[in-house]
Structure 1
């Protein structure tokens, strides 16, 4: 029985890994991270604009921005997977498997930079400092999240799950 489970696990990993050897290129990891960054940036900026327009404080605005970052990150993946003809339930499972860790790391790093940067939480949308700190935070998150995505893709996880639907 153990041999069969090992064979099934190996076959499963091989199907999901774009490189059967379990390796992933830095280019592939960067593309997956850029995809994640796009959804995160859309959600965060929209959340900050909405929170500011409604006169919310920092914490509720930050929570909204993070929630929308996850939403738009998942939405971008769902869009591509649904185009491949996958059902909605299966597409949601793929998006959750592909993006959750990547978005979580991205959000932790980028919001950590914003919270820790002196004066960033007080900056308004019209302030150049707001946009510079956001750009630095997103760039930092990209640099730190790319190796995470490379590690996951190399193990048949993360965006490796999505790649089987891009044929």
Structure 2
């Protein structure tokens, strides 16, 4: 079956989703409330990190800031469950959430840049070009967030890149297929000046996170990914150093 035919069938099957979400994501009141919730969530995150979680590495502070900026209360809930030094015990689910958040922060930046630059500022009409460009930027940012820290630890570029390709490609692929597909389904004709453009972009990011989580949890379970360090152990080390 030709790819275009398959995509058309998928779009038709998901048409009810588009009809439901378009009026919601283009409603000024709804988006205004969402913006207020995001601001409150980011403020809560910054307060918690400054007052109670300074032990977190700078990288993860940045990761959580982007996650909450993208997904507001949902992102803050994920941080509270899996990212704080106050978690009682670590688990596969928490490691999966941290791994997904790490991937999400970089890929989300690539997706936002791709849609704003290509579909927004450059007004590219071809969905294929927008999709390919946004995918490329998402992979670039996602890999960079793995390669950069590894090279800072002394790992060579080739080895770091191989590690990123091996561990990050499955989750990035699933995340971006669902996120970019959602955005194009809902707002393929929207302009950067339209509220729907931004509403669909925000919604699609969180959809990508949800679909990528089971992939990351499976990769952590199989030992392909480590799932990021246990923040509770960082807190314990900080307390021990303060006691000394």
Give the TM-score, by structure 2 length.
0.53
The whole-number CA distance in structure 2 between the counterparts of 1:130 and 1:86 is 40
User: Which runs of 5 or more structure 2 residues have no equivalent in the other structure?
Assistant: 1-90, 230-244
Asked if residue 54 in structure 1 is aligned to residue 122 in structure 2, the reply is yes
- What is the aligned partner in structure 1 of residue 101 from structure 2? 34
Q: Would the alpha carbon gap of residues 149 and 113 (structure 1) be closer, same or farther in structure 2, given more than 3 Å must change? A: same
- What is the aligned partner in structure 2 of residue 8 from structure 1? none
Name which structure has the greater RCO, CA cutoff 8 Å, separation 6+: 1
Q: Deviations over 1:72-101 (max 9, x none)?
A: 000111111111110111000111112100
Query: 1:59: Cα distance to partner?
Result: 2.2
The whole-number CA distance in structure 1 between the counterparts of 2:196 and 2:139 is 24
Q: Tell whether the 8 Å contact from 1:41 to 1:138 is kept in structure 2 after alignment.
A: yes
Structure 1 counterpart SS, 2:94: helix
Query: 1:160: Cα distance to partner?
Result: 2.2
The whole-number CA distance in structure 1 between the counterparts of 2:140 and 2:228 is 17
User: Which runs of 5 or more structure 1 residues have no equivalent in the other structure?
Assistant: 1-23
Asked if residue 93 in structure 1 is aligned to residue 159 in structure 2, the reply is no
Asked if residue 76 in structure 1 is aligned to residue 142 in structure 2, the reply is no
The whole-number CA distance in structure 1 between the counterparts of 2:204 and 2:128 is 17
- What is the aligned partner in structure 2 of residue 135 from structure 1? 202
Q: Tell whether the 8 Å contact from 1:33 to 1:149 is kept in structure 2 after alignment.
A: yes
Asked if residue 67 in structure 1 is aligned to residue 136 in structure 2, the reply is yes
The whole-number CA distance in structure 1 between the counterparts of 2:153 and 2:197 is 38
User: When the two structures are aligned, how many residues end up with a matched partner?
Assistant: 139
Q: Tell whether the 8 Å contact from 1:94 to 1:161 is kept in structure 2 after alignment.
A: no
**Consecutive aligned runs of 4 or more in structure 1 exceeding 3 Å deviation:** none
Structure 2 counterpart SS, 1:70: helix
Q: Tell whether the 8 Å contact from 2:108 to 2:205 is kept in structure 1 after alignment.
A: yes
Asked if residue 155 in structure 1 is aligned to residue 222 in structure 2, the reply is yes
Give the TM-score, by structure 1 length.
0.76
